[in-house]
Structure 1
Amino acid sequence: MVNPIRLGSTLLLATLGGLMAMATPAQAELRICNETANLVSVSLGYRAERGWMSEGWWQTPPGDCRTIFQGDLARRFYYLYAVDDIGGGSWDGQVFMCTRDETFTIFGVEDCLARGYERTGFFEIDTQNRTDWTLQLTESAGAPSIVGPDLGEDLEDPAFLVDPDEPLTPDNTDTQ
């Protein structure tokens, strides 16, 4: 026979644990989901406290998602460059930041080549001031495309707007 006091305590603890889990705020992050048939490598650029920075690489297998920025998205705009490791295609843009072939964290977007880095075109992600964002990298008739959190929103040709609080000069270097 089950002790009713022990059973009641167990149920109470399970209920409190469930309520506490529901009260825990959702984890905010920037996620990239690879909806292609090939492995994709992703790099991220954004305005950090010390200025512009870029970091990479997150390898994302087909059908999988990776968190590339953990925590509330403090900025409205983030910048992404991704490359299909098998097919050779890329998701890129006109906002230039520094990258390199190995894992990297690079501060600054100026003089990439002179500093020994590659100068790579990133595309802009407008998170619309949300604290959590998931982006899907897809192939559309063999060409890469990008789908934002609202599945009907095709961002294949994103507008490269710059947040007025995060100015870039025309050649995409930090003005500060």
Structure 2
Amino acid sequence: MALARWYAKGFLKLLALAAVGAAAVSVPSSAQGKTGWELCNQTSYVIEAATGRPDGEEVIVEGWTRLRPGQCRTAIQGPLKNGVYLVFARSSKAHRGGQREWSGEIPLCVDTNGSFAVENPSSCASMGLEQRGFAAVRFDKGFGSTPFKETDLYNKGGQSPENAG
């Protein structure tokens, strides 16, 4: 149901934006026999990431994959089905200088206080969850890697990326 709504509400336009770099992540392809979705932290912050994966017409959202600076971890075991997956990441609350977010425009629910796995409900608040904007990432080879970089676009306290320092 949630995926059908996205397609009906211009999800393809969001996919095009993600493909040209408007999303906060990129997906380099490498044929090294890898499977699954690897997230890599190329920042100086500890990052926590939540991922969304299609399950029929629903989306299963899971978090948090914790990444130390320089660390890579598999967030979703593969091989991945071809299609669109979703990601939202944030710097640890312990980071000085405010929390940073690597996000997109697709609203999904997360539990901001701890590990979670949820089929995306129609109302986040009714389940004690909060809504966050996820970025779309397309996979077509059964695997992929998403790096988070300090130079990527991110949101900091509602500021535009150019003004967030």
Same fold (TM over 0.5): yes
For residue 108 of structure 1, report the CA deviation from its aligned partner: 2.3
Aligned residue among 110, 117, 142 for 2:122: 110
After TM superposition, the runs of 4+ consecutive aligned structure 1 residues lying more than 3 A away are: none
For residue 27 of structure 1, report the CA deviation from its aligned partner: 4.0
Q: Is the 8 A contact 1:96 1:109 kept in 2?
A: no
Number of the residue aligned with 1:133: 144
SS of 1:82's partner is strand
For residue 119 of structure 1, report the CA deviation from its aligned partner: 1.0
Aligned residue among 47, 55, 60 for 2:67: 60
5 Å-filtered alignment, 1:15-26, equals 26=33
Q: Residue type of the partner of 2:128?
A: G
Structure having greater relative contact order (Cα 8 Å, sep ≥ 6): 2
Across the aligned residues of Structure 1 and Structure 2, the Cα RMSD in angstroms comes to: 2.3
Larger radius of gyration: 1
Gap regions ≥5 residues in structure 1 = 1-24, 146-155, 157-176
The alignment status of 1:44 with 2:55, answered yes or no, reads no
Q: Is the 8 A contact 2:103 2:154 kept in 1?
A: no
Q: Is the 8 A contact 1:55 1:106 kept in 2?
A: yes
For residue 84 of structure 1, report the CA deviation from its aligned partner: 1.0
5 Å-filtered alignment, 1:1-176, equals 26-49=33-56, 51-85=58-92, 86=95, 87-100=98-111, 101-127=113-139, 129-140=140-151, 144=154
Q: What is the percent sequence identity of the aligned residues? A: 23
For residue 44 of structure 1, report the CA deviation from its aligned partner: 0.3
CA distance in structure 2 between the aligned counterparts of 1:140 and 1:27, rounded to whole angstroms: 26
SS of 2:123's partner is coil
Gap regions ≥5 residues in structure 2 = 1-31, 156-160
Q: Residue type of the partner of 1:44?
A: T
User: What TM-score does the superposition give when structure 1 sets the normalisation length?
Assistant: 0.62
CA distance in structure 2 between the aligned counterparts of 1:117 and 1:144, rounded to whole angstroms: 22
- 1:130-166, CA deviations, whole angstroms, 9 ceiling, x for partnerless residues? 111011100118x549xxxxxxxxxx9xxxxxxxxxx
For residue 122 of structure 1, report the CA deviation from its aligned partner: 0.6
- 1:37-89, CA deviations, whole angstroms, 9 ceiling, x for partnerless residues? 01000000121247211000010000010100011111411000000111411
